Amino acid sequence: MRARDLPSKPVTDDFVRKQADRLNAKNATGPRSGRPYETLQRQDRAVRLLYLRNRILDAKNTAQGIPGRYSNRISGRTVRRKLRPHGLRPIHILKGLLFKQRHRAASLEWARARRRWRLHTWQYILFTDKSQFALRFIRPYARKEYQAAFCQAPGEE
């Protein structure tokens, strides 16, 4: 069927307006499947700048300073996801016991008592704590340019 076979009608302003609205709709520019983003690009830049200006903020506190698009605020997970493409990682606040003044004093006293020990004296000390140390591998936490570094024990080549 060709266009000239169709019955012709005068084009009305209403028809033109509807066609323009249909063509200018948001989903006319491309496929819109999936969930919409929680933040706009402007908010993504704000997250990055807020983190770069104050690097001691963790993701949760950074999120409290940025309002969300549909809700009152965004989550810490969203902040981590928005910083990841830029090679940034928010700090991770350690949860654990803090040293009290007496712990620090005892540790300092222990270190001062052994300050002048030589290497052969340290060889006879057995450390019995439950810490596990990886002596061969250092995990690269900072950026991609710090890839896995291997350290060697003295005397190994």
Instruction: Please enumerate in sequence order all residues whose Cβ is within 8 A of that of 149, keeping only pairs 6 or more positions apart, or say none.
Output: 138, 140
Q: Are 79 and 59 in contact (CB under 8 A)?
A: yes
Q: Are 54 and 61 in contact (CB under 8 A)?
A: no
pTM: 0.41
- Give the separation between CA 50 and CA 88, rounded to whole angstroms: 12
Instruction: Please enumerate in sequence order all residues whose Cβ is within 8 A of that of 141, keeping only pairs 6 or more positions apart, or say none.
Output: 89
- Give the separation between CA 145 and CA 87, rounded to whole angstroms: 10
Give the residue among 142, 146, 37 at the shortest CA–CA distance from 90.
Answer: 142
One digit per residue, pLDDT tens: the chain, 157 residues?
565 666 666 666 777 777 766 666 555 556 667 777 778 888 888 888 888 888 888 888 888 877 766 666 788 888 899 889 988 888 887 776 777 888 889 989 988 998 888 888 888 877 766 666 555 555 555 444 444 444 444 555 4
CA 26, chain centre distance (Å)? 30
